[in-house]
Chains A and B, each alone.
Chain A
Amino acid sequence: AQSVSQHNHHVILSEAASLELGCNYSYGGTVNLFWYVQYPGQHLQLLLKYFSGDPLVKGIKGFEAEFIKSKFSFNLRKPSVQWSDTAEYFCAVNAYGQNFVFGPGTRLSVLP
């Protein structure tokens, strides 16, 4: 069975700082990888996804993520965060024939 871990429970940054949120998964086969964001009081929104091809994927709102197969990682990055990026971020994995599995989430607080 697949599982997902996220390195940080809570990250606090000042505006304009760079962001990297870690995500690791355990599954030996081919996986599809996702990052979702949940702003306070709102629904889960897809930030970006990786299915195949270029391991560096670009998403909405200036986010990008890099798939490193050898490290089973799919870290989320943003060069310069804004106060409006304050939210909960979930990494998710979906392998063929398996359920969608979410990581525990990382809460990002951006200080103005």
Chain B
Amino acid sequence: DTEVTQTPKHLVMGMTNKKSLKCEQHMGHRAMYWYKQKAKKPPELMFVYSYEKLSINESVPSRFSPECPNSSLLNLHLHALQPEDSALYLCASSQGVTNQPQHFGDGTRLSIL
């Protein structure tokens, strides 16, 4: 079992809906990440939080809005998504941003109708 917990596991939403993905870790890690993974492709980095501050935004459209309420939680708020946003969204955490392996959650499989 992974030590990074993501909810929900599956999400189906319409293009006008607003929903949120949640991620939680209790390993004391200070860096947390959101990745997007399409089928049979590697994860693509979306956002990096370091010590609860957004440090990297890889040119992600504004319809994705990350939030880090505290050092254990990471949210991804979704609004007005497009069908091409359907993918597996992975959360990861590490002790620091560099020089540390990342631990991944199971992901949320998102389908946009």
Contact = CB atoms under 8 A, between A and B. Distances in A.
- Say whether A associates with B: yes
Interface of A: 32, 34, 36, 42-46, 49, 51, 88, 90, 94-100, 102-105, 107
A51 B103 CA distance: 16
Interface of B: 2, 4, 33, 40-43, 45, 48, 56, 58, 90, 92, 98-99, 101-107
Contacts of A95: 98
Contact of B42 (A42, A96, A97, A104): A104
A3 to B, nearest CB: 12
Contacts of B40: 88, 105, 107
Contact of B106 (A42, A97, A100): A42
A64 B33 CA distance: 27
Contacts of B2: 43, 45
Given A45-B2, A46-B101, A96-B99, 8 more contacts: A43-B104, A45-B104, A51-B99, A97-B98, A100-B33, A100-B45, A104-B41, A105-B41
B35 to A, nearest CB: 9
A97 B99 CA distance: 9
Contacts of B42: 90, 102-105
Contacts of A100: 33, 45, 102
B90 A44 contact: yes
Given A43-B104, A43-B107, A46-B103, A99 B41 contact: no
A41 B84 CA distance: 21
A104 to B, nearest CB: 6
Nearest to A34: B101
Nearest to B92: A44
30 contacts: A32-B98, A36-B104, A43-B2, A43-B105, A43-B106, A44-B43, A44-B90, A44-B92, A44-B104, A45-B2, A46-B101, A46-B102, A46-B103, A49-B101, A90-B42, A90-B43, A94-B98, A96-B99, A97-B98, A99-B45, A99-B48, A99-B56, A100-B33, A102-B42, A102-B43, A103-B42, A104-B42, A105-B40, A105-B42, A107-B40
